[in-house]
Every structure is written in C-alpha cells, then in structure tokens.
Amino acid sequence: MFAQDCIDSSIPFIRLTDEVGFVLDLMQEFKTNRLAVIDNSHFMGCIAEDTLLEHDDLTKIEQLKEHFLSDKIIEGTHVFDILKMEADCAIYFLPIVALNEEYIGMITPQKLLHNLTQISSLTNSGGIIVLELESRNYSLTEISKIVESNNAIILHSMVTASAEQALIQVSLKINKNDLKEIQASFERYQYTVLAVLHQSEFEQQLQERYDSLMRYLEV
C-alpha cells in the first residue's frame, strides 16, 4: 500500500488568495491543524493553524509565504515509510505530491489507520497470540509450522522489542477463534505465551485504543 492509497479526499486545499479567517474556519470544520496551499495545481507548502492564529482574519495566505511548511510525501512512498516520517516529525496531516510538485491530496491519521487495519488483516476473523522469546531464537518458519500443524494459518505477524533488550515479542493474528490447542503447542515447544486474545476481546481492545487515538488527534 502506497501514499496515494491513503488520501482523504474530503480534506480541501487552499489558495494563495484565501484569507486567514476563511482558512481557520475550514480547519475547524475538517478537524485539521494544517492545510496545503495550491497555486495552479502546484504545491506551495502547508500552512499551520498556529501561524494563522497570529494574524488578522483578513490577511491573505500569500502574505504568509515565509511560514509555509515544506513537509510532504512523494507519491509511491510505502505506507510504512509514511508512518516513520509521522513518528519522527510528529506530523499527522501530510500532503502527497507528484515528482513535478503537483498536489495530489492529503493523508489524515484516520485514513492511514483505516488502511493499516486492511493490510494487517486486523479486520479478518480470528484470535491473537503474543509470544516472548530471545531474538536469537526467532524463526518465523518454525512458528508458522507450529500454527499450521494445528490446521491454522498466520494472517499477520508483528515483532516488537521487549523491555528486556535481548527479548522480542511476536504478535500473531491467526484465523481461528479457539486458540487453546495452538497455545498448548507453543508451550510444548518451550515458547512463552504472554497473551491469548479471542476475537471479541481483541475487537474490544482495538476499538478502545482506536477511540483513544482519535480523541487524542482531535485535541
């Protein structure tokens, strides 16, 4: 999945001739703190809400060129690289442009999160098993064989660092709701099973975390 797949077509762009008051109203309506400034389809930069609040409502956007923000995503950028940029820069609304600087659209955190759930199989039925093991012992091939020996498949896997640097946590989305036999198999092979979440439990936790994130992003 690439940048152009994450565009939120509802987010408007603004022009150099627009006034500060009008743009602030747009930001409030669409719950964003920055908008892209476009001149004849050419991306000029983004203007931030904090900058606008320092100027009179009748000020033209073209008078604020020195405050334009150049952060952008080039079309064709993979969604994982977008996530890294957002994390590194703490920017959650990013414009997408073509190689010739033509404006394509805006990425929003809601659209990005929605697309991530699609590529990570979070919307598929099944349960979650979280394993903890030493990084030097990690083998996705072996883990897959254990799952498949129980007539199941891994829909998605994610590896994260544990608090102990030598350990990693492996989260597995599996296409079964009843994970007792798979859990027993992992324990038989000396894997540490940190958590087992069935579909309803997982959906509840995911919804709670999603709601929390959306409340944070709308502050």
58-104 confidence digits (pLDDT tens):
999 999 999 999 999 999 888 878 887 877 777 879 999 999 999 99
Contact 105, 96 (CB under 8 A): yes
Q: What is the pLDDT of residue 38?
A: 98
The CATH number that domain 123-210 falls under is 3.30.70.260
Domain range list for the chain: 3-117, 123-210
Contact 55, 36 (CB under 8 A): no
CB atoms within 10 A of CB 90: 6
Q: Report in angstroms the alpha-carbon separations of 184 from 25, 130, 202.
A: 57, 13, 20
At 111, the pLDDT band (50, 70, 90 cuts) reads confident
CB atoms within 10 A of CB 69: 15
Q: Give domain 3-117's CATH architecture.
A: Roll (3.10)
Q: What is the pLDDT of residue 147?
A: 96
Q: What is the pLDDT of residue 212?
A: 61
Amino acid at 193: V
pTM greater than the 0.75 cutoff: no
At 123, the pLDDT band (50, 70, 90 cuts) reads low
Q: Report in angstroms the alpha-carbon separations of 114 from 120, 133, 215.
A: 10, 30, 15
CB atoms within 10 A of CB 24: 16
Q: What is the pLDDT of residue 114?
A: 75
Q: What is the pLDDT of residue 219?
A: 45
